[in-house]
Amino acid sequence: MRMTTPSDERDDEPEHDFGERSHLNPDGTPRIVERHLVVPPELAGLRLDHFVKTQISRLSRTKIQTIIETQLARADGQRPKAATIVAAGEHYVIRREARPEPPCPRTFAVVHEDARVRVIDKPAGLPVHASAKFYFNTLSRVLGERYPDEPELQICHRLDRETSGVLVCARDRDAAAFVKQAIADKTRATKQYLAIVHGQPPWDAETALATPLALATTGKLAGVKVLAGAGGLPAETRVIVTRRAGDRALVRCTLVTGRQHQIRVHLAHAGFPIVGDKLYAHGDEAFMAYCDDGLTAELAELFVLSRHALHAWKITLPHPDGGMIAAEAALPADLAALLA
């Protein structure tokens, strides 16, 4: 039986690398981005362009045609046509030159480490996985660069790009399966967050916020915004105010369930939205303006903070070898400044 405890040691971190040149080779030429597509049995018989659409749904038909003509090949190097009928098991590769990516921090601290599990303190702004905008500037890439001799290293859960704090990584496949299952089972793992909210909530004792949640299915923000109200999935967040500062408060949030945007929606629905929350704090029009124009001076003043003030503070979960892990990450400086 092995008992593990929070690490008192943190790696000495260099100044943040914001990845402005992460898309370039050392000689300044663009790096090559590859995406591999393997045809599953249930999609055999489709035209190639239709198959690609199932794999990258956000692309228009015209864009897919261009990709097939200029970037896509079979794994053996053959260049197929858009009308080619695909067969099960066929392997296609899309190769393109890497594009500049939005800058973001690419360094992190380690708050717990043992032979099978590593818990890091993810900085705000660093996405966990690749997306349309981020490929090299992601935590998964940074982990691979920092630990090149750990091919089985896996991230075991997710944090939003703007959320900072503790994130658990497993160092072998069996440990990853164990940790992911423990986190999925909310009775075995506990995740606690710190949020700075507008207003002064009446939560001097721990209080349950239990409004059901559902992803919006209509309107401009369908598929993006989560709505609170009857008809949604059961959701519960336990909250308590731990500090008050003027017209803001620091709230400790303990997840009982783990729905998308759960803490952000529950706090906003209760009337105390998170500072800097572009989607839930200031109405749909402010969020749409941010999507269209970026963080203008007017929006920066409205939002107060360039990211939402949510921090994954502490996680407790069983260790694959027995005992418990309890790891935490201190409130980062940008959030602490809001309470000064």
Domains parsed from the chain with CATH numbers: 1-7+101-188+317-340 (3.30.2350.10), 32-97 (3.10.290.10)
pLDDT digits (tens, 9 = 90+) for 113-152: 999 999 999 999 999 988 767 777 899 989 999 999 999 9
pTM reported for the whole predicted model: 0.80
> Residues 314, 327: contact at Cβ < 8 Å?
yes
- Name which residue leads in pLDDT, 30 or 310: 310
Which range, of 70-74, 121-125, 126-130, 227-231, averages the lowest pLDDT? 126-130
> Residues 162, 310: contact at Cβ < 8 Å?
yes
The question of whether 185 is a catalytic residue gets the answer no
Sorted by sequence, the CB contacts under 8 Å of residue 185 that are 6+ apart come out as: none
Q: What is the DSSP string of 136-180?
A: SSSHHHHHHHH-TT-TT-EE-S---TT-EEEEEEESSHHHHHHHH
pLDDT digits (tens, 9 = 90+) for 142-192: 999 999 999 999 999 999 999 999 999 999 999 999 999 999 988 899 999
Distances (CA, A) of 59 to 43, 56, 62: 18, 6, 8
pLDDT-derived band at 20, boundaries 50, 70, 90: low
Dist. CA 221–CA 38, nearest whole Å: 32
**What is the chain's mean pLDDT, rounded?**
91
Dist. CA 98–CA 29, nearest whole Å: 9
pLDDT-derived band at 16, boundaries 50, 70, 90: low
Dist. CA 307–CA 285, nearest whole Å: 18
pLDDT exceeds cutoff 60 at 6: no
Cβ–Cβ contacts within 10 Å for residue 75, how many? 12
Residues pairing with 34 in the sheet:
95
Cβ–Cβ contacts within 10 Å for residue 331, how many? 19
Closest by Cα among 145, 114, 133 to 325: 114
246 in the Ramachandran plot: left (φ > 0), alpha (ψ -120 to 50) or beta?
Answer: left
Closest by Cα among 259, 258, 83, 263 to 162: 263
Pair of tokens at residue 336: 């602490």
Closest by Cα among 30, 35, 227 to 131: 35
Sorted by sequence, the CB contacts under 8 Å of residue 74 that are 6+ apart come out as: 80, 90, 91, 92, 93
Diameter of the chain measured on Cα atoms? 66
pLDDT digits (tens, 9 = 90+) for 325-337: 999 999 999 999 9
Selected catalytic residue, list 11, 114, 160, 284: 160
DSSP 43: G
Residue found by looking up tokens 């929070």 in the block: 6
